Structure 1
Amino acid sequence: MHVPDGFIDAPVSAITGVVAAGAVAVSLRGARRELAGPPGIGGAGGVGGLGGERTAPLAGLVAAFIFAVQMLNFPVGAGTSGHLLGGALAAILVGPYTGVLCVSVVLLMQGVLFADGGLTALGVNITDMALVTTVVAYLVFRGLVKVLPRGRRSITTAAFVSALLSVPAAAVAFTLIYAVGGTADVSIGKVATAMVGVHVLIGLGEAVITALTVGAVIAVRPDLVYGARGLTRPLKLRINGELVDAPSVVPVPVAARSHRKVWLAGLAASVVLAGGVSFYASASPDGLEKVAHDQGIDKKTEEHHTADSPLADYGVKDITNTRLSGGLAGAIGVTVTVVAGTGVSLLLRRRSAAEASPAETDGRR
């Protein structure tokens, strides 16, 4: 659903740019709390601050994984394909604020390096694909986990539903933006019907990918899933024939449970997906491209500003072997994205820790 340059006029592109910048600014602030980890021994950072040390690298990995899976367009019928948007997945794994940042980093890398998504439309894409999907998905997810029985199955079920709904929500958001700032005179009703219809199908694919990924991480390391925090059942003890809550136990440091294996496995999977499996992705136009062509909203599409980039269109310039060119571009994209995502997360984590240290020192005086 990457919006190219020329779909939306300059004033509305500028307004969405302001909205996107505001969303990123708010997310930077909120992500500092999420990356600090859950409360516990050692202050806001959890047990010795380990929560944040685990979450920050995972945020970079989530961004890289979303980049990789977005290269895997899957067919949805009638000559149309779809790909992961990633807002729901990011929000559930690392938190809604950090999730917005993860998807924004992906969109920035795609626009600048791979000529995917217009640069003047970057505000539209961040607002639509990062902000709307993440907010809608996380609100639905939190609502569901409050009413469903506590447990891993409930988390994956909530992940499935929230991801499913986030995609047509993004389609509706794009339609509203286009209704205000579209550059072609077309029937908005027809655009809305076509966009929502095809993106409900794409949402099913998004839901499957999100639920499977969240379920896989929970099965291995549930402590790394932001959306699963505090959802474990309290321990019950039977005393004099009655079940009572067990007394709280002081958490034990979990430094031995390194995130390194999960991080390396996730990074390897991302490289394989982007560098190899992407060769077999559907070549059909995605939902927005198909609707744009059928409804005529692509009449004023402009050439991308970085169309001559060495990595434009997910291929390495001057390498004639299609498989090798696409594979190298995918691997480079994963590497750049994980470095950028991890870098931002670690900077936020360190700033949060630096601000917390004086407060903790004053509290001990």
Structure 2
Amino acid sequence: MHVPDGFFDAPTSVATGLIAAGAVGVSLQRASREIRETGPALAGLVAAFVFAVQMVNFPVGAGTSGHLLGGALAAALVGPWTAVLVMSTVLLVQGLLFADGGLTALGTNITLMGLVTVVVGYFAIRAVLQVLPKRVGSVVPAGALGALVSVPLSALAFTGLYAIGGAVEIPLGKLTTAMVGWHVLVGLGEAVITAAVLSAVVATRPDLVYAVRHLQPELVLVDADGNRSTVAADRPVATRPAGRSLGIGVAVTFLVAGVVSLFASAHPDGLEFVGAKLGFDSAARDSAVASSPLADYGVSGIGNAQVSGALAGIIGVLVTIAVGLAIAKLSSLRSARSTADADKVA
């Protein structure tokens, strides 16, 4: 659902740019606690994994496709503030290197895919965890539901923005029905992917899942007289270093970006499909970096399309890991500096 340049007028693009900048700024300040718990390496890996999986469009039907947005998954793995930074990193790399999403629309894309999906997904996860049994496995259905609702609500947010500053006048009712309808189907795919990833991580390293750490599991004790009492159980803790698990995650990420992505559906995604059907795709303009050597997820100068695509995916993963790590460390440094300044004042 990457929005290209030209879909929105200048005031709307500026407004979403300010919203995105504010969200990233606040997240840089607030993410430090989450990063202390999960580590900057996990934030970089999650960013790279979301980048890789977004390369894999899956068929939805009627000549359209969808791909993971990833906000709910990132929020479950590394926490909401870090997830905003993760998603912003992915969209920044995609926009600057791969011409995926317009540069003037970067703020819009961060708002829709890096903010709405994270906020909706995270609060949906927390709400579901309040009613499900207090056990680690509950994170999987909670994450799936959070992913499912985050996608159509992001599409609904797009519709709201288009009603304010869309470049081509089209019936709002038709746009709402088409965007939400198709993205409910995309959300189903998002839910399946999110559940699969969370299941794998929870089964092997539940201590690396941020949402699990904030469960308050309870044990029911029964004494000799049959009286029942409830006590808090221990949360999952690390039983072995995370290096090996992160290494496996990096390997899987490279596999997705360099191999699985080659089998992605060639059909347009939900936004492109709706734009073509309703006629506002004509407003799209090429990105300012459309001539980038990595534009459209291929390496210019390499004639073999599969080799070009695989290499572009691998390069994208490496860059995303580097940028994600840098942003995570920046958040930690800002927090340390703020703490030091507070100590001096005290």
Taking a change above 3 Å as real, the CA distance of residues 361 and 225 of structure 1, as seen in their structure-2 partners, is farther
Partner of 1:43: none
* Alignment partner of 1:340 is 2:323: yes
Partner of 2:275: 292
Taking a change above 3 Å as real, the CA distance of residues 332 and 23 of structure 1, as seen in their structure-2 partners, is same
* Alignment partner of 1:181 is 2:165: yes
Partner of 1:44: none
Taking a change above 3 Å as real, the CA distance of residues 248 and 167 of structure 1, as seen in their structure-2 partners, is closer
Q: Is contact 2:43-2:82 (8 Å) kept?
A: yes
Partner of 2:9: 9
Counterpart residue identity of residue 259, structure 1: A
Q: CA deviation at 1:359?
A: 7.4
Consecutive unaligned residues in structure 2, runs of 5 or more: none
* Alignment partner of 1:120 is 2:104: yes
Q: Distance in 2 between matches of 1:150 and 1:252?
A: 12
* Alignment partner of 1:31 is 2:15: no
Taking a change above 3 Å as real, the CA distance of residues 24 and 358 of structure 1, as seen in their structure-2 partners, is closer
Task: Percent identity, please.
Answer: 54
Counterpart residue identity of residue 92, structure 1: A
Q: Distance in 1 between matches of 2:86 and 2:237?
A: 28
Deviations 1:128-164 (A, max 9, x none): 0110000011111111101111123321111111100
Q: Distance in 2 between matches of 1:345 and 1:274?
A: 22
Taking a change above 3 Å as real, the CA distance of residues 349 and 184 of structure 1, as seen in their structure-2 partners, is same
Deviations 1:174-223 (A, max 9, x none): 01101111111211111111001100000000000011111111111111
Q: Distance in 1 between matches of 2:18 and 2:60?
A: 34
Q: CA deviation at 1:299?
A: 1.6
Counterpart residue identity of residue 47, structure 2: A
* Alignment partner of 1:276 is 2:253: no
Taking a change above 3 Å as real, the CA distance of residues 19 and 231 of structure 1, as seen in their structure-2 partners, is same
* Alignment partner of 1:151 is 2:135: yes
Q: Tell me, what secondary structure is at the counterpart of 2:280? A: coil
Q: Is contact 1:104-1:126 (8 Å) kept?
A: yes
Partner of 1:219: 203
Taking a change above 3 Å as real, the CA distance of residues 17 and 277 of structure 1, as seen in their structure-2 partners, is same
Q: CA RMSD in A?
A: 2.3
Q: Distance in 2 between matches of 1:234 and 1:181?
A: 50
Q: Is contact 2:294-2:312 (8 Å) kept?
A: yes
Q: CA deviation at 1:248?
A: 8.4
1:210-359 alignment, distance < 5 Å: 210-231=194-215, 233-235=217-219, 238-241=222-225, 242-244=227-229, 257-353=240-336, 355-356=338-339
Taking a change above 3 Å as real, the CA distance of residues 209 and 189 of structure 1, as seen in their structure-2 partners, is same
Counterpart residue identity of residue 112, structure 1: L
Report which stretch shifted further, 240-249 or 113-122. 240-249
Taking a change above 3 Å as real, the CA distance of residues 220 and 248 of structure 1, as seen in their structure-2 partners, is closer
Task: Report the count of equivalent residues.
Answer: 345
Taking a change above 3 Å as real, the CA distance of residues 296 and 338 of structure 1, as seen in their structure-2 partners, is same
Q: Tell me, what secondary structure is at the counterpart of 1:76? A: strand
Q: Distance in 2 between matches of 1:247 and 1:160?
A: 26
Q: Distance in 2 between matches of 1:246 and 1:130?
A: 38
Consecutive unaligned residues in structure 1, runs of 5 or more: 38-53
